[in-house]
Chain A
Amino acid sequence: MAEVAAVSMDAVAEFCLRLGDDRLILGHRLSEWCGHGPILEEDIALANVALDLLGQANRALELAAEAEARGRSADDLAFFRETVQFRNIQLVELPRGDFAFTIARQFFFDAFSVHLMDALQQSTHAGVAELAAKAVKEERYHIRHSAEWMVKLGDGTEESRARLQSAVNELWRFTGEMFQGDRWDEEAGAAGIAPEAAGPAALKSKWDEVVNDVFARATLTRPADEFFVRGGRGGLHTEHLGHLLAEMQIVARSHPGAKW
């Protein structure tokens, strides 16, 4: 445990906050499909994925709360922080759009998350390693589900293909944020919280492999890398996150401390 002790608890808290916020916000976006899925079976499938993500978020935010040691709980972090305090990438906060948009966004995230969780099983932080060991199984199913849909929609009808390609084009500039890396990533890497395989460079090459393979099978065109947004990790968000938080947080804020 000497390695862990050597790293500042800030780095652990920041790392877990990012893990948790990505999954909390994406899970919430997916849950918006509940009762609106294109077909009953897919409605249930999306809700299953949303619940997996909320479970991962819950554990990650518990770890963040422990690490920051300011007496806050996971619920406090989820429901009583403001927009600028959220550390998720902007990709996950965008409105759900049509089914093609939801699937494309999910696929981009899954292709990132499955390799991240796989690598984090070797984290020097016991809590993170444990979270990842459970999450990696969930992620392997998520990517199987979303990749299957990418191929079905892309190599489907003229309309499904057009909708998916347009979603891919629109989302592309939000995919860079998964691999940008900053001083917190460096600190997490140096401490072994995130082993090398969980670093931005390693994840990017694995993500490219998955994306290129699925794009080929889905007959999609990979957009050019021109401009990538950044800022979510530092609290800079689109206007959509505020609306999402208003809806997600209102019950907890209207009835603080209420029990189910």
Chain B
Amino acid sequence: MPDDPSGTASNGADTQWPLWEVFAQSAQGAPYQHAGSVHAVDAEGALQNARDVYSRRGEAIGIWVVPSQSITASKPEDTGPFFDPADDKVYRHPQFYKIPRGLKGL
């Protein structure tokens, strides 16, 4: 356990435990959404820490924890080739359909 409460060693390295990403569900049927992250040495510890940090005001009815290093993310330099090509394809939006009057809850 680090003496320095910031968890940062004098050489600037992170001395804390591995990082886990937390996803929380706010209500039955609602999607799990990213809530934040916690440090923990194993899955049970991560689950408990996530519970203590992200559900203490009644925000969650379910929690997932995932090791941060298991997540593969796109890089900033991917933005152009990944996302810009979608910009001029308006026909992919379903706004060209006529919705019958009287249809509710769609």
Contacts and interface: CB of A to CB of B under 8 A. Distances in A.
Interface residues of B, number: 16
B1 A48 contact: no
Nearest to B38: A41
A177 interface: no
A41 B40 CA distance: 8
Interface string B30-66: 0000000011110011001101110010000000000
A144 B45 CA distance: 10
Interface in A123-175: 141, 144-145, 148, 152
A249 to B, nearest CB: 27
A45 interface: yes
Nearest to B41: A152
A45 B52 contact: yes
B1 A38 contact: yes
A189 B52 CA distance: 36
B49 to A, nearest CB: 4
A231 B65 CA distance: 46
B8 interface: no
Interface centre among B7, B45, B51, B52 (most CB of A within 10 A): B52
A247 B38 CA distance: 33
Contacts of B53: 41, 44
A79 interface: no
B48 A45 contact: yes
Nearest to B51: A141
Contact of A148 (B1, B39, B44): B44
A218 to B, nearest CB: 14
Query: From DSSP, what is the main secondary structure of chain A's interface residues?
Result: helix
Given A148-B44, A148-B45, A152-B45, A41 B52 contact: yes
Nearest to B52: A45
Contacts of A39: 1, 7, 16-17, 39
B48 to A, nearest CB: 6
A158 to B, nearest CB: 15
Given A38-B1, A39-B1, A39-B7, A45 B49 contact: yes
B102 to A, nearest CB: 47
B65 to A, nearest CB: 12
A99 interface: yes
A212 to B, nearest CB: 21
Contact of B1 (A41, A44, A99, A144): A99
A45 B38 CA distance: 12
A44 B52 CA distance: 7
A99 B38 CA distance: 20
List of 9 A-B pairs having minimum Cβ-Cβ separation, nearest first: A41-B49, A38-B1, A45-B52, A44-B52, A41-B38, A48-B52, A44-B53, A145-B48, A41-B39
Interface of B: 1, 7, 16-17, 38-41, 44-45, 48-49, 51-53, 56
